[in-house]
Amino acid sequence: MGAPDTMTQVPFNKPYMTGKELWYIAQAHASGHLAGDGAFTRRCSEWLERRVGSQKALLTHSCTAALEMAALLADIQPGDEVIMPSFTFVSTANAFVLRGGVPVFVDIRPDTLNIDEGLIEQAITPRTRAIVPVHYAGVGCEMDAIMDIARRHNVLVIEDAAQGLMSSYKGRALGSIGDLATVSFHETKNIISGEGGALLVNRRQDEERAEIIREKGTNRALFFRGQVDKYTWVDLGSSYLPGELVAAFLWAQMEEANTITERRLALWERYHVAFADAEARGKLRRPIVPDSCRHNAHMYYLLLPDLRRRTALIEALKERGIQAVFHYVPLHSAPMGSRGRATGDLRRTADASDSLVRLPLWLGLEEQQDKVVEQVLQLL
């Protein structure tokens, strides 16, 4: 009898549990080590370093925290500019605005909805300090072009790979290409710990300082390794490391990362095949994954012809118990957008924001996916 959304039979997201999470949490509990940087944190960081091929992985309590650490490592000063898409989550910008930085918003490519690398160079000024490519839907940005621009202008590249774990670009894992990268283990991502994230450090010279920033600006890690004889305040920093219980949960997920990715890819493919005809008839556009990219099926979205039809589809699906959602109010048009600077008209960003609808994609959807496909096709 309730409001339509209390009758939702197919939620947009449902966190997947492997079944081992509580077992590992019990082990952490029994070990008596509850603060961060215990055995599970070490396992998770080493897994990330191996898997992504990063110099160093540091667990954080969110991707947002990892982005804030990146802004500190990049020494962002008031007035410094950071180039990024406007079509992204708020944390991409907020982390730099917190340091007085100015996000400079660049439009996206029509195919992947990632930052248009062809528009980056004209957005660079003497104040530019970093470029932050966001790998939307786990599909890689044009990293070769972006790294080339960054090297020529001597600016850092910080990959927002929140959605990009287990994806690659030209055979290189997302998160391993930029100077720094951040990932998320939020419950809406593929590999989860409720809240959680990591900073990936790809330059040796940033390793030590990254540890210090994560440990409240102290050289605690160096002290415990016997590399300094006093443990003291040496830099800016905050408390960015998660406790062991969170790392224990995350370890259960990392062990299953391949299976989780394969099952998500199967769900993604099923949608993709199911909507091929509708695309051919001009009813919608499906996601485009360039040949250079292997993706992780983080998201399945459709692009409808306009805002009216997109909104109508979401509403009608809701009435049928299926939760589909739109994605991003562009940052430049948000109330805080005036803290940044838009370059060009950001037309494609506005178009994507108006026309995009994300469909449910979670492990366990298998039994209900036909219903989702059927309803979408009917409503088109």
Rank residues 66 and 222 by Cβ distance to ligand PLP and give the closer one: 66
| Nearer CB in complex with ligand PLP: 197/222 | 197
Amino acid identity, position 93: A
Beta bridge partners of 59: 198
**Closest CB 380 distance from ligand PLP, rounded Å:** 27
Contacts of 305 (CB under 8 A, 6+ apart): 283, 284, 355
d(CA 90, CA 170): 28
Q: In which element (H, E) is residue 159 found?
A: strand 156-160
Give the pair of three-digit tokens for residue 303: 């692009």
CB of 299 to ligand PLP, least distance (A): 9
Smallest distance, Å, CB 305 to ligand PLP? 26
Beta bridge partners of 58: 199
Using the structure block, give the residue that is written with the tokens 């485009």.
288
- 27 vs 188, beta carbon nearer ligand PLP: 188
Residue 79: how many CB atoms within 10 A of its CB? 10
In order, the DSSP letters of 320-355 are TTB--B-----GGGSGGGGGSEE-S--HHHHHHHHH
Q: Which residue's structure tokens are 């118990």?
A: 321
- Would you state the structure tokens that stand for residue 353, as one six-digit string? 């924001």
Of 91 and 218, which has the nearer Cβ to ligand PLP? 91
Residue with tokens 């991707």: 63
By beta-carbon proximity to ligand PLP, the closer residue of 40 and 89 is 89
Nearer to ligand PLP, 37 or 160 (CB): 160
CA atoms within 13 A on the CB side of 120: 31
Report, in Å, the least distance between residue 264 CB and ligand PLP. 15
Binding site for ligand PLP (CB under 6 A): 62-64, 88-89, 91-92, 134, 160, 162-163, 184, 186, 197
From CA 77, how far away is CA 129, in angstroms rounded?
A: 9
Closest separation in Å from C-beta 379 to ligand PLP:
27
With beta carbons less than 8 A apart as the criterion, state whether 215 and 237 touch.
yes
* Smallest distance from ligand PLP to CB 27, Å: 24
Least Cβ distance, residue 204 to ligand PLP (angstroms): 26
The nearer residue to ligand PLP, 53 or 194, going by C-beta atoms, is 194
Whichever of 177 and 222 has its CB closer to ligand PLP, that residue is: 177
- State how far the Cα of 375 lies from the Cα of 377, in Å rounded to an integer: 5
Q: How far is the CB of 61 from ligand PLP (least distance, A)?
A: 8
* Cα distance between residue 44 and residue 61, in whole Å: 13
